[in-house]
Amino acid sequence: MSEPLPGASPRAPSPDALLDPRETRAPELREAELMSRLSALVAVAQAQAPAYAELLRGVDAASVASRAALAMLPLTRKRALAERQRAERARDVFGGFATLGIGAAHAPARRAGRVFASPGPIYEPEGAASDYWRMGRAMRASGIQAGDLVHNAFSYHFTPAAAMIESGARALGCTVFPAGIGQTELQVQTIADLRPDAYAGTPSFLKLIVDKAAESGTDIGSITKASVGAEAFPAALRDWLSARGIDAYQSYGTADLGLVAYETSAREGLVLDEDVIVEIVEPGGSTPVVDGEIGEVVVTVLNPDYPLIRFATGDLSAVLPGACPSGRTNTRIRGWLGRADQSAKVRGMFVHPSQVAEVLRRHSAVRKGRLVVAGTLADDRMRLDIELDPGAGDAADLAERVAETIRDVTRLRGEVAIVAPGSLPDDGRLIEDTRAVG
């Protein structure tokens, strides 16, 4: 195992000493507060966000006070958000999803303080609240605390990533160096000069910095803790950094939602933020799955400035059972397990997970299914593997009816294969593309 970097500071006290009362409250108290805030959020969205006035027309906001009621509301997908923003751009760059706006037509209290652009483009507003994106909670869980100097290597260009970290760090009482991305040699020299306590950025860029410092013999051992995100953080890289004196913890969030979940010292999944309601739904659908089953992460963020309700992230995860050993009592998820959007182009037409889910929904005797696309890109073959419930009846007749449904839903022909119960992987995927290119 490698030795810590020269000049490394002593390890910081356990982040678990920094818990706040919201993180440790009884789950039933948290749930009651979340449901109360949910009803209020729906009312605000209906009254002040034109897109939700349409999407939630006829919904009684007061009745949306349970997870079952929430699950009856429509999803908002990123694709639909981008499309509506494009259509409404001349009138409202946020597409009617925000209660904030831009320009003198809006009262000062309802003007966005900053606007960011994510690929799409999708425009995101930032309101005036301290730690607007709520990243301070994740940073505190990584051991960052008041008085620390944070080397912020997230992008300060267009997207909100760096602003999310900066607002969280400043809310904790930290000083921030706005490093941004790139210029690895200059990053190393700046760290050697300023002696920051913590790094924030992608884990892969932190590795590049550590490698460059080792290559040049530069002392960057002041960094002993890190809050990382925006990409996968494999255990091997976590251990590699730890061996060099850096304890790094990951967070999971998006430019639309802010913080969703964060890692703790327990290293057992990610704990949900206190200001979001998370559902895990069937891939391609909108119905919540049983706890422990892999599905798509759907988030309702309790932010009246940008009240995204049932926002489908496209990411796969699953709920972990039990409470976090760190003392936090909120629900945990397993972390990022891949993407739910597994669309495949077959014979010139796109087939989406939502279509596979619709085929399965129409046949109650089908327990589980996966569409396999095989052959080559010039010779596509499509087969739906299905598991049946006991007592499903005539399997051959059912397979024929499922094949008819495939044609009806996708406008494509596909074979149906009945497989043994339990033989399909439990990974949340509805489409598997096995084609060779050429």
pLDDT single digits (tens) 47-61: 999 999 999 999 999
**How would you class 209 by CB atoms within 10 Å of its CB: exposed for 0-12, middle for 13-18, buried for 19 or more?**
buried
CA angle, residues 178, 180, 184, in degrees to nearest 5: 115
Report the pLDDT value the prediction gives residue 1, as an integer from 0 to 100.
Answer: 28
Q: Give 201-243 pLDDT, tens digit per residue.
A: 999 999 999 999 999 999 999 999 999 998 889 899 999 999 9
DSSP 69-109: HHTTSPPEEHHHHHHHHHHHTTT-TTTT--S-B-STTS-GG
Strand arrangement, sheet containing 270-272? 175-178, 149-152, 198-201, 225-228, 247-254, 258-263, 270-272, 332-333, 319-320
pLDDT band at residue 15, thresholds of 50, 70 and 90?
Answer: low
**Same fold flag, 129-255 and 346-433:** no
- C-alpha to C-alpha distances, 84 to 31, 77, 99, 341, nearest whole angstrom: 32, 11, 15, 20
Q: Which residue type occupies 65? A: A
Q: pTM of the full predicted structure? A: 0.81
pLDDT band at residue 354, thresholds of 50, 70 and 90?
Answer: confident
Each domain of the chain, given as residue ranges in start order, spans 25-104+273-340, 129-255, 346-433
CB 257 within 8 A of CB 124: no
pLDDT band at residue 387, thresholds of 50, 70 and 90?
Answer: very high
Q: Give 396-425 pLDDT, tens digit per residue.
A: 999 999 999 999 998 889 999 999 999 998
Which class is 129-255 in CATH? Answer: alpha beta
Q: 235-243 and 203-216 helices cross at what angle (nearest 10)?
A: 30
Q: Kindly state the tokens that stand for 369.
A: 């299914």
**How would you class 28 by CB atoms within 10 Å of its CB: exposed for 0-12, middle for 13-18, buried for 19 or more?**
exposed
Average pLDDT, the chain: 91
CB 363 within 8 A of CB 337: no
Secondary structure (3-state) at 309: coil
CA 388 – CA 366 distance, rounded (Å): 5
- C-alpha to C-alpha distances, 428 to 78, 126, 432, nearest whole angstrom: 20, 33, 11
Prior bond of 121 cis (ω within 30°): yes
State the residue for tokens 């926002």. Answer: 311
- C-alpha to C-alpha distances, 81 to 48, 87, 159, nearest whole angstrom: 17, 10, 16
Evaluate if residue 10 carries a pLDDT over 50.
no
Report the pLDDT value the prediction gives residue 342, as an integer from 0 to 100.
Answer: 75
Q: Which residues pair with 252 in a beta bridge?
A: 261
Given CA atoms 393, 395, 398, 402 in this order, what sign does their dihedral have?
positive
Which class is 346-433 in CATH? Answer: alpha beta
Report the pLDDT value the prediction gives residue 17, as an integer from 0 to 100.
Answer: 55
Which residues neighbour 405 within 8 Å (Cβ) at sequence distance 6 or greater?
359, 362, 363
Which helix (H) or strand (E) covers residue 138, if one does? helix 136-141
Cα radius of gyration (the chain): 24
Strand arrangement, sheet containing 431-433? 415-418, 379-388, 366-376, 431-433
Instruction: Provide the pairing of β-strand 175-178 with 149-152.
Output: parallel
CATH H-level superfamily of 25-104+273-340: ANL, N-terminal domain (3.40.50.12780)
State the residue for tokens 């990974």. Answer: 427
Q: Kindly state the tokens that stand for 292.
A: 């422990």
Q: Give 312-347 pLDDT, tens digit per residue.
A: 998 999 999 999 999 999 999 998 888 777 778 787
Closest-CA residue to 254 (of 77, 112, 89): 77
